[in-house]
A and B are shown apart, each in its own frame.
Chain A
């Protein structure tokens, strides 16, 4: 699963630790999600969408969709 977390975070000048605090996960987890090494659960994905004020599909995309 692809995601735009790193871009969205950079646009706001947030560190991984800032985002981790907001989403109540570890910084390592944010890093793994950004690198595509860990796919977040639906509740966590919704939490990220709420935080950025976007639709969930605007942040996370299925790889198959290209």
Chain B
């Protein structure tokens, strides 16, 4: 086969590196979140200094995850960026609309429990995944 005089698969390699980096930062952030949430009651018996350290560590790693996500996004090609942007718009829009409606349910006493932020994150994550799958299917 007459392959083009390609210098390397550097773009693909960079994408793989960016994806792996984002995966590790996300995993680290989740672990630090769990540590900040459950550490006080399970490990250090609500020691104030350690609890503050846990929160600060979580924020620090969260900042790293944001930078890794930005690097990942900038490394995508233009079609992948478009799919990502569309999915983000769907997720943010749904999150805003559903989040406010959900919060109002308690205000007007249609539900008796306190709305949880985790429910909103679940909805946003789900709509983001749907958006990514939808976008990839539309461009296949």
Q: Which residues of A contact B (CB under 8 A)?
A: 12-15, 18-19, 21-22, 24-26, 28-29, 31-33, 37-38, 40-41, 44, 51
Contacts and interface: CB of A to CB of B under 8 A. Distances in A.
A44 B78 contact: yes
Interface bin, chain B: 10 to 19
B139 A32 contact: yes
A29 B1 CA distance: 22
A28 B4 contact: no
B77 A25 contact: yes
B2 interface: yes
A18 B79 contact: no
B9 interface: yes
B6 A38 contact: no
Contacts of A51: 4
Contact of A18 (B6, B77, B82, B136): B6
B2 A13 contact: yes
B103 interface: no
B13 to A, nearest CB: 10
Given A25-B79, A26-B77, A26-B80, A37 B1 contact: no
B58 to A, nearest CB: 33
B79 A29 contact: yes
Contact of B9 (A21, A25, A41): A21
